[in-house]
Structure 1
Amino acid sequence: MQVRVQLPSMLRAECGASEMVVEASTVREALDAIRAERPDVYRCVCDERHAVRRHMNVFVNDALVSKAGGLDEPLAEGDELSIYTAVSGG
């Protein structure tokens, strides 16, 4: 199924667009599709262990995906995967 992936502004220069459309049935498959199509974007989102980097957050529609096991969350046709850089301060 097709899933739209919204990219943060810092990755738009790498991708040349604000979004991508990938074929995937889970969050992990969507990230794998990004890796196959745009490895430079994937390396910004995931580390060498294929885990989402600490400073990145992934949402399915409006729900934050857990970094511990949430990558196997199923996706439905028309779902939107959004990638954001984490915001912190102090």
Structure 2
Amino acid sequence: MSVNVRIPTILRTYTSGRAEVTVEGATLAEVIASLEAGHPGIAARVLDDSGKLRRFVNVYVNDDDVRFEGGLETPTPDGAGVSIIPAVAGG
């Protein structure tokens, strides 16, 4: 499955400045693995040491928050859009 991943500005150093990359994967876990294979180091910014999504990183598949779907097992159908959005804190 070919998936378009939108990369936030803070992670674009891993994608040579590209705001969007296309990777393969039938689930979010596979998409992140494919993203890491092509852009080493990016997975460590999205996943914690236990391999789960970092608490302050929000990920959406076609506008659906994966935390309320299947987490890393969320299906990523062909042509899906995946957005990685770091949480912003402030007051």
TM-score by length of 2: 0.87
Q: Give unmatched runs, 5+ long, in structure 1.
A: none
CA drift at 1:35: 1.9
Contact in 2 for aligned 1:25/1:76 (Cα 8 Å): yes
Hey, what's the Cα distance between the residues in 2 that align with 1:54 and 1:64?
13
Tell me the C-alpha RMSD between the 2 structures. Answer: 1.7
1:44-80: CA deviation from partner (whole Å, max 9, x where unpaired)? 1112211111111100011111189511111111100
TM-score by length of 1: 0.88
Q: Detail structure 1 runs of 4+ shifted over 4 Å in the superposition.
A: none
Q: Which residue of 2 aligns with 1:9?
A: 9
Identity %, equivalent residues: 38
| Count of residue pairs brought into register by the alignment | 90
CA drift at 1:32: 1.1
1:8-39: CA deviation from partner (whole Å, max 9, x where unpaired)? 00011221111111110011110111122222
Q: Give unmatched runs, 5+ long, in structure 2.
A: none
